[in-house]
Amino acid sequence: MSGLIKEKENGGFSFENCRRNNYILAKGGFEMPKATKTGTTIAGIIYKDGVILGADTRATDGNIVAEKNCHKIHYIAPNIYCCGAGTAADTEYTTRMIASQLELHRLNSGRQVRVVSANRLLRQYLFRYQGHVSAALVLGGVDINGPYLGSIHPHGSSDRLPYVTMGSGSLAAMAVFEDRYRPDLSEEEAKELVADAIRAGIFNDLGSGSNVDLCVITKDKAEMIRPYHVANEKGVKQGNYLFKRGTTQVSKTLEKKVQYDVMSTSVREIRPSTETMEIA
């Protein structure tokens, strides 16, 4: 390899910046900025008529709750939705990117988007970045092949299953599913089961909290229910600490008009910057 001219790399992802980051960290004194993680409970099940996805609404930044009511169920296509756990920015932008690619694909093909397409695009994107894009997703939707539910891990592997959970509260939610899942639940039973699973995460996992959001996807429509259940109401203050009017006695009121003089007036016409606008 020539010492002066760097050879052009062919395709693939350049990990040059990762090497640079490791070097900077090894030198000491520089701390990587902490990514906002969603520390989440997300879950999905397949029921009689379709798919139900559920998520909690807490976003954490280390040990602090960064957002009390964030949105974890992302739109991918009219018939496909995706819950995301992991780094908030990664899940948001990855799902948005795939949603836009699928919209172009839908317009190109003239057909309803299939969930396997979303799965493949997400998987191939995440694998390309070797786990550095920290997005753990629960992808669900209904297409011509029926209901589809699967989970996608940050390194790019996917599993297609009748019930899945991801995030820090996934064990608590999976406990509920393994205990009570049956193949042909009705819509109401299925909604309650997913809500129960998310609540198990909310109350037993510190990374999850606040409310339960649901998304019910059937052959005909997809319905976002946000919130499905407000599990943690904000407490009502027991006392009023505002001072009543008149606590401080007003002894004298003085009103004075501020005198100002008009120095000059001018009138200007608002002119367009170019003169190309010609209406024939």
Partner 1 sequence: MQHPKQQTTNPMVTGTSVIGIQFDGGVLIAADLLGSYGSMAQMRQLPRVFKVNEKTVIGASGDYSDYQFILEKIMQKVNQDYCLNDGYVYKPKQLYSWCTRVMYNRRSNFDPLWNRVVIAGLEDNQPFLGSVDLLGNAYEAPCIATGYGNYLAVPIMREFLEKNNNKITEAQARDVVDRCMKLLYYRDGRAYDKYSIAVVTRVGARVEECKELQTNWQVASQVASYD
Between residues 88 and 137, which has the closer beta carbon with respect to partner 1?
137
HEC readout, 217-279: EECCCEEEEEEEECCCCCCCCCCCCCCCCCCCCCCCCCCCCCCCCCCCCCCCCCCCCCCCCCC
CA dihedral 69, 74, 80, 85 (to 10 degrees): -90
Nearest CA to 43 out of 222, 227, 176 is that of 176
In the stretch 133-152, what mask flags binding to partner 1 with x, by CB under 8 A?
-----------------x--
Candidates 109, 131, 178, 184; binder of partner 1 (CB under 8 A) is 178
Render the burial of 87-102: b for 16+ CB within 10 Å, e for the rest.
Answer: bbebbbebbeebbeeb
Helix H or strand E segment including 165: strand 163-166
Prior bond of 227 cis (ω within 30°): yes
Task: Mark the segment that binds partner 1 (CB under 8 A) among 16-24, 96-104, 161-169, 206-214.
Answer: 161-169
Task: Mark the segment that binds partner 1 (CB under 8 A) among 53-61, 86-94, 156-164, 245-253.
Answer: 156-164
Candidates 171, 224, 225, 231; binder of partner 1 (CB under 8 A) is 171
Tell me, yes or no, if 40 is annotated catalytic. yes
CB of 43 to partner 1, least distance (A): 13
Candidates 36, 79, 158, 211; binder of partner 1 (CB under 8 A) is 158
Q: Which residue among 36, 40, 57, 60 is the active-site one?
A: 40
Of 188-227, binders to partner 1 (CB under 8 A) are: 196, 200-201, 203-204
Query: Residues in the site for partner 1, rule: CB under 8 A?
Result: 46, 116, 119-120, 150, 157-163, 171-172, 174-176, 178-179, 181, 183, 196, 200-201, 203-204
